[in-house]
Amino acid sequence: MELSLLLIKALIILAVFGVTLLIATYSTYAERKVAAFIQDRVGPNRAGPFGLAQPLADAVKLFFKEEFVPANANKFLFIAGPSLAMLTACMSSAVIPFGGTLIIGGEAIHLQAIEVNIGILYVFGIVALGVYGIMIGGWASNNKFSLLGAIRAASQNISYELAMGMSIIALLLVTGTLSMRDIAAQQGEELFGISGMNWNIFYQPLGFLIFIVCAFAETNRVPFDLPECETELIGGYHTEYSSMGMGLYLFAEYVNIFVASAVMSTLYFGGYNFPFMDQLGLPHNVVTILGTVVLFGKIFFFIFFFMWVRWTLPRFRYDQLMNLGWKILIPLSIANVILTGGAILLKQEFFQ
């Protein structure tokens, strides 16, 4: 019993890890294709059919390049930086529920690697750790531009984590739980007679807006990609990196995008729930598998949205970034918390 449980958990963890890496790999391809399509080009189409082997070719190229360490760099930290960035990026997908329960042989198996009752806090902690990878790498390079990029990354992440946390607090007032599994399950309830439509976006539209802006900032994506601002900082924190060190940084960014998309889908867009999920009369396992497919659909949409925004908006100036973070998003998110709390109190007083 105990052993089989361990085996199932190990299998799920392996699957989640593999899927995360696979999606991150093909995000690099998708990014180039989306960029090309938006700019009226065709994008990579030489390696394999439709250029589908392009990520493999990129990876092989990065592996075979020289791993160069600058003369006055701190060698240990120089290598620890990208490793830490990759490690933290891969850790955070562990608590995301990728589906409901599969019932096999009378036993319910949750499609989630690890259930912790403070799932959101775990994700937050890991994402906050992610900036250390950039900080360490930028500092260890012994290069002014890298250091500037790293400092920018650190201050940007701290600024936007506050607003993000505040927007999450408003969400937690609605859900009343920190567990990702419970939050996902709650959104499967009925709303106006449609099952699986009780999504948090209907209760927290402003919170979602703040969250998605902060998610862009946390993943260092355009329009908040100041840490790697080419025009001012050459390459930012990864100026001195070559070969797989560089590859890990870029890869970690895509893993982060995947995780941010998964978190947004789970917290605000109903996770694995889809409209009419209980009213179709399908067997439980089929509904679960459909739910997983739907969740990945939502995740892919958000990944596409990240890329769509990247090729639409220009980069913020540094003071504009800080203004937006401290003077607009944080007051807005505090107002959102107060409004949500007031609405919940009113509901308890008068409608129950």
Partner 1 sequence: MQSLSNRAKKLEKKPMNLSERMYLPAIFQGLSITMRHFFKKKATIKYPEETRPMSAVWRGLHVLKRDEKGRERCTACGLCAVACPAEAITMVAGERKRGEENLYREEKYAVSYEINMLRCIFCGLCEEACPKAAIFLQNDKLAPARYERDEFIYGKDRLVEPMPIELTSSAAAR
Binding site for partner 1 (CB under 8 A): 34, 37-42, 45, 308-309, 311-313
- Least Cβ distance, residue 340 to partner 1 (angstroms): 20
Instruction: Scan for tokens 């009780």, then name that residue.
Output: 198
Residue 59, class by beta-carbon neighbours within 10 Å (0-12 exposed, 13-18 middle, 19+ buried)?
A: middle
Q: Secondary structure of the chain in the HEC alphabet? A: CHHHHHHHHHHHHHHHHHHHHHHHHHHHHHHHHHHHHHCCCCCCCCCCHHHCCHHHHHHHHHHHCCCCCCCCCCHHHHHHHHHHHHHHHHHHHHHCCCCCEEEECCEEEECCCCCCCCHHHHHHHHHHHHHHHHHHHHHHCCCHHHHHHHHHHHHHHHHHHHHHHHHHHHHHHHHCCCCHHHHHHHCCCCECCECCCCCHHHCCHHHHHHHHHHHHHHCCCCCCCHHHCHHHHCCHHHCCCCHHHHHHHHHHHHHHHHHHHHHHHHHCCCCCCCCCCCCCCCCHHHHHHHHHHHHHHHHHHHHHHHHHHHCCCCCCCHHHHHHHHHHHHHHHHHHHHHHHHHHHHHHHHHCC
The CB-of-37 to partner 1 minimum distance in angstroms stands at 5
Query: Smallest distance, Å, CB 332 to partner 1?
Result: 11
Nearer to partner 1, 213 or 262 (CB): 213
The residue among 33 and 298 lying less far from partner 1, judged by its C-beta, is 33
**Cβ distance to partner 1 smaller for residue 51 or 55:** 51
Partnered with residue 102 across adjacent β-strands are 109
From the CB of 264, what's the least distance to partner 1, in Å?
A: 17
Q: Which C-beta is closer to partner 1: that of 191 or that of 206?
A: 206
Q: How far is the CB of 132 from partner 1 (least distance, A)?
A: 31
Q: Indicate the residue among 111 and 212 with the shorter CB distance to partner 1.
A: 212
Nearer to partner 1, 144 or 327 (CB): 327
For partner 1, give the closer residue by CB, 300 or 308: 308
Provide the minimum distance between the beta carbon of 210 and partner 1 in the complex, in angstroms, as a whole number: 12
Residue 34 beta carbon to partner 1: minimum distance, rounded to whole angstroms: 8
CB of 228 to partner 1, least distance (A): 21
Q: Which is nearer to partner 1, 66 or 319 (CB)?
A: 319
